[in-house]
Amino acid sequence: MDNYLWEILWQWANRRHPNKSGEWIARKYWTPTKEVKWNFIGKTKHKEEIELTRHAKTEIVRHVKVKGTASPFDGNLVYWSKRLPKSPDVSTRVINLLKRQHGKCEMCGLTFKDSDQWEVDHIMPTMRGGKDWYSNLQLLHDYCHDSKSARDGSKGGRIYDKDGETEEPDEVKVSRPVLKTSRSGDGLA
């Protein structure tokens, strides 16, 4: 994969600088290191160098098989809560909160499962001066988070959809049960 990426980058660099020699292009974009002769390096607007990570340096993370006949529906919540932090789609922040809370929701005390929806909550809401510090965070089920936010008023009196769109109370699109006719009276408006 690294060879393929090198070829694509080399073609890109040649297209970008059609009047420059291969030696010039190599000096501009590739820098040799102790480990690798051809190391692709880009520069930011602030002249900071950023190195492209090679595929060969990517750690292999093996999938851990489910033990025996275990199932998320068998009621063994301890097994599934221990497995949850190893999931690749769980952020580091959530993993740390899961460990600190021993895999349980701070509000209802129930164990988090794979199928649960959770939200990171500020214990002291940020709108009331709470900081975005780890000590001010807790992991809650989404329904526990909704009830806590309604209780402490951190949603500002608005109703929030899961899509992030806000709705004002009593904001509705009124339907019309009877169609109006046009002014001329010959058809529908």
Site of tokens 């006719």 = 181
pLDDT of residue 16: 94
81-98 in b/e form (b: 16+ CB < 10 A) is: beebbeeeeeeeebeebb
Which pLDDT score, from 0 to 100, does residue 13 have?
92
Please name every residue paired with 40 in a beta bridge, in sequence order, or none if there are none: 30
Flag whether pLDDT at 77 surpasses 90.
no
Question: Which pLDDT value is given to residue 177?
Answer: 63
Q: Which tokens is 177 given?
A: 């049960």
Q: What are phi and psi of 184, to 5 degrees?
A: -75, -20
Answer with the residue of higher pLDDT: 155 or 32.
32
pLDDT in tens, 8-29: 999 999 999 999 999 999 988 8
pLDDT in tens, 144-175: 988 888 887 776 544 445 555 555 555 556 66
Inform me whether the pLDDT recorded for 189 exceeds 80: no
How high is the pLDDT of residue 124?
A: 86
Average pLDDT in the 97-101 region? 85
Long-range contacts of 82-89 (CB under 8 A, 24+ apart): 83/114, 84/112, 84/113, 84/114, 87/114, 88/61
List the domains of the chain with CATH numbers.
2-56 (no CATH), 77-162 (1.10.30)
Cα–Cα distance list, 76 to 81, 102, 119, 154 (Å)? 9, 15, 23, 35
State in Å, rounded, how far the first CA of the chain is from the last one: 62
Most confident listed range (51-55, 74-78, 139-143, 183-187): 139-143
Report the percent of the chain where pLDDT is more than 70. Answer: 72
Give the other-Cβ count within 10 Å of 105's Cβ. 19
